[in-house]
Amino acid sequence: MREETVQLEIFRYRPEEDAEPTYDRYEVPFRRDWVILDAMNYIKDEIDGTLAYRWSCRMGVCGSCGMMVNGVPKLTCATFLKEYYPRPIRVEPLAGFPVERDLIIVMDDFMAKLQSVTPWIVRREGEEKPVEEGEYLQTPAQLMAYKQYSMCINCLLCYAACPVYVADNSFVGPAALALAQRYDLDSRDQGHALRQPVVGSHEGVWECTFVGECSAVCPKNVDPAGAIQRAKVTSTMEYFKDTLMPWGRRA
Amino acid sequence: MSPYVRPVSNTWWLQRRPYTLFIVREITSVFVAGYCAFLLYLLYRLGQGAEGYAVALEVMRSPLSVALHVMALLFVLYHTVTWFNLTPKVMVVRVGEERLSPFLIAAGVYASWIVLSVFIAWLIFAG
């Protein structure tokens, strides 16, 4: 019996040869237990060793293998061929980012944005406990307040799904803003005032038009859209408090 | 060797259903704003007394006005429903250690919508 196969149309861009990207078609065996990343590894091993793409853990933890699959951002290690079979599958680099080569994007912009929201626990000057005094304890409720937002693996599917970021990448973007919330809502953190100038700026939460696709594509159910809307509420409340009660201004 | 920046097509919002629905939701705002302008016009006519108001009523009876009203109603309903459905995503209400179910929050906004609509209907028809 002839082996069943599936067609992959893969975005190729070789900067030393191509001025414009092209699409290469590959025919790979169809296996019900194969994810798209398995098919890509098959191509790289058996058909065309020049294909370039990022991957690492194969189990939805490292966040390296995000690509556009038929126009939708997906972790290719968690997307099965059988979801598309027998139709051809088009694989492209994540939307909204410059392409370095083939399926590899340049993510410097995201790295700078991630850093801009101070994504770590900040203690006020002189309020950091000495190590000997042990850890900062949290109740289960205090953990639940931010846990969902801490599940982000920086896979950038949310950026590729966000039409605001894709159209104009001045937007700080879903993952970075969700991580800002993650630290703002942490009972051990005191760094809200450091993050607010970025989060509350026009390029921060106010650029978001609540399309909601960032949350729809998130493989970790982080819900960046929800995080951003909550930050909008916080920003607004703080604005009114500062304006109506200037004497109560926070340090 | 420079990275390749892909152009964004003007029809990006037609390429996936969620984006199309989002753009429709955004366009509904035009109808919400338009109807507010129309209400101002009605107030203006009302301010001119019975004769001015009769002119407004005549305008409203025209087939074009009826068609626009039906269209505006559909768009405003879509606007309301989509934003009501998004409300539970924005409002995270905690009762003790538990998060209040998003369904209850949505039910709350729909219930207040119905109560307010009944109240307004009562104001108009009982008065």
Chain B's closest residue to A95, CA to CA, is: B6
Instruction: Inspect the interface and report whether the beta carbons of B92 and A226 lie closer than 8 Å.
Output: yes
| 83-122 in chain B: CB under 8 A from chain A | 86, 89-90, 92, 94, 96-97, 99
* Residue A73 main-chain phi, psi, to 5 deg: -65, 130
* Residue type at position A77: C
How close B14 comes to chain A (CA, Å)? 12
Give residue B25's pLDDT band: very low, low, confident or very high (50, 70, 90).
very high
Contact A204, A177 (CB under 8 A): yes
Contact B105, B94 (CB under 8 A): no
A 10 A CB-CB count for A197 gives 10
- Rounded to whole angstroms, the Cα distance separating A18 from A9 reads 17
Q: What is the mean pLDDT of each run of 10 residues along chain A (251 residues)?
A: 90 94 97 97 98 97 98 98 96 98 98 97 92 93 94 98 96 98 97 96 96 96 94 94 80 48
What is the pLDDT at residue B100? Answer: 82
For residue A110, what are the contacts with CB-CB under 8 A and spacing of at least 6? A97, A154, A156, A159, A173, A175, A176
Give residue B98's pLDDT band: very low, low, confident or very high (50, 70, 90).
confident
Per CB-CB distance under 8 Å, the chain A contacts of B13 are 163
What is the pLDDT at residue B99? Answer: 77
Per CB-CB distance under 8 Å, the chain B contacts of A69 are none
On the 0-12 / 13-18 / 19+ scale of CB atoms within 10 A, B50 is: exposed
Q: Which long-range contacts (CB under 8 A, 24 or more apart) does B11-15 make?
A: B12/A163, B12/A166, B12/A167, B13/A163, B15/A71
What predicted TM-score, i.e. pTM, was given to this entire model? 0.91
How close A67 comes to chain B (CA, Å)? 14
Instruction: Inspect the interface and report whether the beta carbons of B4 and A13 lie closer than 8 Å.
Output: yes
Rounded mean pLDDT, B21-49: 94
Per CB-CB distance under 8 Å, the chain B contacts of A74 are none
* Residue type at position A43: I
Instruction: Inspect the interface and report whether the beta carbons of B22 and A21 lie closer than 8 Å.
Output: no
**Would an 8 Å CB–CB cutoff place A21 in contact with chain B?**
yes
CA B118 to chain centre: 18
Candidate from A99, A229, A232 with C-beta closest to B3: A99
For residue A93, what are the contacts with CB-CB under 8 A and spacing of at least 6? A11, A67, A68, A99, A102, A103, A104, A105
Chain B's closest residue to A107, CA to CA, is: B3
